[in-house]
Amino acid sequence: MKKPARPATTAGSVMTRFTVGDLVEVFCDHNEDGERTRGWLQGVVVQADEKMTAVQFLEDVYLTDGWMVPDRVLWCREGGEMIRAATRRRASRSSGRR
């Protein structure tokens, strides 16, 4: 399924690389198989403007000085090397409820 084309910028509006709801990957500290690691982790854009993009994760994420981020939201600079479009779709989460 293709994403709809984004509208062209008009006077007073600014084009951003990502929009709310986009799946992205962020290079950050997180837990993988019970161990702390630094690598690409998939999340969802929850806020975006011309300077910054906020990404929320399902896993715990950490600041570079070791503190866990309580709301699992990291902010990335728009156009930075630490954020990229997701290369794969998120695996569906199986629910135990029926």
Domain boundaries, the chain: 23-85
Q: How confident is the model at residue 98 (pLDDT cuts 50, 70, 90)?
A: very low
Residues of the chain with pLDDT > 90: what percent?
A: 62
Q: Is the pTM of this model over 0.75?
A: no
Residue 44 has a pLDDT of 97
Check residues 87 and 4 and name the one with the higher pLDDT. 87
CA atoms within 13 A on the CB side of 6: 12
What are the C-alpha distances in Å from 5 to residues 2, 8, 15, 19, 94?
9, 9, 12, 12, 32
Does residue 90 surpass a pLDDT of 70? Answer: no
Across all residues in the chain, what is the average pLDDT? Answer: 83
